[in-house]
Amino acid sequence: MQQTTAPAENPQPATADADGVPVFQLIDPGLVQDQYGFFAGLRAKSPVWWAELPDGTRWLVPTRYEDIRRAHLDPVLRQKPDPEDDPVTDEEGGIWRVYNEHPVVSDPPKHTRLRKLLSGAFTARQTERLRPRVEETVEGLLDSLARQGADGTPVDLMEGLAWQLPLVLICELLGVPEERRDVFHDWSRNARDFTGGSTHEGREEIAYRIIDVIKDLVEERRATPTDDLLGQMVQARDADEGRLTEMELISTAFIVLLAGFETSVGLIGNGVSALLRNPGQRALVENDPALLPAAVEEFLRFDPSLFLTNVRIAGAPTTVAGVDIRKGQPVLLSLGAANRDPEQFPDPDELDVTRNATGHLAFGYGIHHCMGAPLARMEAAVAIGRLLERFPDLRHAEGPDVPYIPSPISRTPLNLMVRLDRPADLPTG
């Protein structure tokens, strides 16, 4: 079982507003150190809180599953206060303009239009067509890990498997050739090096390089059409400019590449980590591989890659968890807190691969539910299943305490050091 801070110890409300809604500090170190324990402490004291920034800005934060689910469905809570509010021009927006034009941060009707263009690439049927490539990629990565981990040498599953597999798949889905993928590896290394001097400026510089690669690929597909996802987007853009602007094309390709692999990274890492911490649950999966799909759903519930969602902004006065909020006030939704609500999932801090975890909010809810969810599920099931099969002696190399990227938003291990031992099918080449 994953250990969490006792609710009675954490946290203490700093103040309360006029209606008695308690307030906590959004920069409280406990939120990074133990996200689940921190929110369990919040929920034990009140179903809804204000999260306060140093400048006094407050974001409303519900803590219960049902309140968080309903907030996802509230049409008043938007990515922007007004769906037509887009004051940043292409010339002055810079990198933030690119971040601002994809479906993840858009509202209807723009969100509906952009999502429709992408939805066909991420259906369960299309995902199954990628399974042979996923299996082939997993085998190659495990072969490499086996050579590195011969004779009990520790290996990092995050570096050797969790970061590599999703990146390969999403690049192939979009049609990014292997010789141009170095910049995406740089992006992932920047994310992992957050505590080692990585800066916002450094990440922005890599983002510009990624955009340059995307722009080059777009022009190549205009000269020579292809049937990959990027090629389809270019054809949609050029056939009818009303369907997709040039900036939307670049921004959407950008977010598909980045969000498309980072979510799967955390799912694979957190799933393996959860099984290593819970040997009884691991034995169930090893003895009955048919449990893998249900186990993946439980991994998603138990420790989702994204702990907090993008901030929602009230486009008009509304009520969230019984609290009246004004137009323009932000609301912060916690997927991790919802998935650990004991009113929705009994014994939520227990990993149970036999439970019915459907209904978890790991991929969001409503119109912004993650389109890449079928691909992420399939990647995780193939990778974790084959890992357990090939390395039955898999175990922690440095103890069960896994370091995470220090962010209150994500749940991605910095590394996951394990010993594989020498399996019977260790490659000799």
pLDDT band at 423 (very low <50, low <70, confident <90, very high): very low
138 token code pair: 């997993």
- Options 207, 297, 379, 383, the catalytic residue: 379
Model confidence over 42-67: pLDDT tens digits?
Answer: 999 999 999 998 888 889 999 999 99
Indicate the average pLDDT of the chain. Answer: 85
User: Which CA distances in Å does 177 have to 67, 121, 180, 181, 372?
Assistant: 44, 18, 6, 7, 21
- Please enumerate in sequence order all residues whose Cβ is within 8 A of that of 332, keeping only pairs 6 or more positions apart, or say none: 51, 59, 60, 61, 308, 309, 311, 312
How confident is the model over 135-142, as a mean pLDDT? 97
* Mean pLDDT in residue range 404-413: 84
Strand 330-331 versus strand 312-314 pairing type: antiparallel
**Final residue belonging to a domain, choices 343, 361, 379:** 361
pLDDT band with cut points at 50, 70 and 90 for residue 198: very low
Domain annotation covers residue 34: yes
Closest CA relative to residue 299, chosen from 223, 411, 217: 411
Active site residue 264: yes
CATH classification at residue 82: 3.30.43.20
Q: Which residue has the higher pLDDT, 141 or 108?
A: 141
Residues 371 and 352 in one domain: no
Confidence of residue 147 (pLDDT cuts 50, 70, 90): very high
Q: Is residue 244 part of a domain?
A: yes
Catalytic residue selected from 251, 264, 305, 410: 264
Same-domain pairing of 250 and 352? no
Please name the amino acid found at residue 420: L
Question: Both 342 and 228 in a single domain?
Answer: no
In a domain, 49, yes or no: yes
Q: What percent of the chain has pLDDT over 90?
A: 49
Distance of CA 293 to the CA centre of its chain: 18
Q: Flag whether 351 is in a domain.
A: yes
Is 78 found in the same domain as 138?
A: no
Q: Look at residue 96 and tell me if it is in a domain.
A: no
pLDDT in tens, 333-390: 999 999 999 999 999 999 999 999 999 999 999 888 888 889 999 999 999 999 999 9
- Single out the residue in 339, 361, 383 at which a domain terminates: 361
Torsion angles phi and psi, residue 418, rounded to 5: -135, 165
pLDDT tens digit string along 94-104? Answer: 566 666 677 77
Residue type, 321: A
CA distance 6 to 302: 17
Which domain, by its residues, includes 315? 1-89+307-361
Percent of the chain whose pLDDT exceeds 70: 86
Q: 370 an active-site residue? A: yes
- Is 379 a residue of the active site? yes
pLDDT tens-digit readout, 226-245: 988 888 888 888 777 667 78
**Backbone phi and psi for residue 396, each to the nearest 5 degrees, phi listed first:** -60, 140
Q: Are 78 and 9 part of one and the same domain?
A: yes
Q: Which residues contact 12 (CB under 8 A, 6 or more apart)?
A: none
What residues pair up with 334 in beta bridges, in sequence order?
A: 308
Same domain, 78 and 168: no
Backbone angles phi, psi at 29, to 5 degrees: -60, -25
| 30 plus 157 within the same structural domain | no
Q: Are residues 263 and 406 in the same domain?
A: yes
Q: Is residue 32 part of a domain?
A: yes
Top-confidence residue, 274 or 414: 274
30 pLDDT band, cuts 50/70/90, is confident
Asked if residue 319 and residue 171 are part of one domain, the reply reads no
343 and 218 co-located in one domain? no
Amino acid letter, 113: R
Burial class (CB in 10 A: 0-12, 13-18, 19+), 326: exposed
135, 273: one domain: yes
Q: What is the pLDDT of residue 249?
A: 86
What's the predicted TM-score (pTM) here? 0.88
In a domain, 400, yes or no: yes
Q: Is residue 95 part of a domain?
A: no
Catalytic residue among 259, 286, 350, 397: 259
- Number of folded domains that form the chain: 2
- From the candidates 159, 248, 262, 297, give the one annotated as an active-site residue: 262
Active-site residue (options: 274, 294, 370, 381): 370
Domain CATH for 117? 1.10.630.10
Residue 170 parent element (H or E): helix 164-174
The whole-number pLDDT of residue 340 equals 97
pLDDT per position as a tens digit, 246-268: 888 888 888 888 777 778 999 99
What's the pLDDT at 311? 81
Residues 416 and 346 in one domain: no
Contact 24, 45 (CB under 8 A): no
Tokens of 391: 């390395």
Last residue of a domain, one of 326, 343, 361: 361
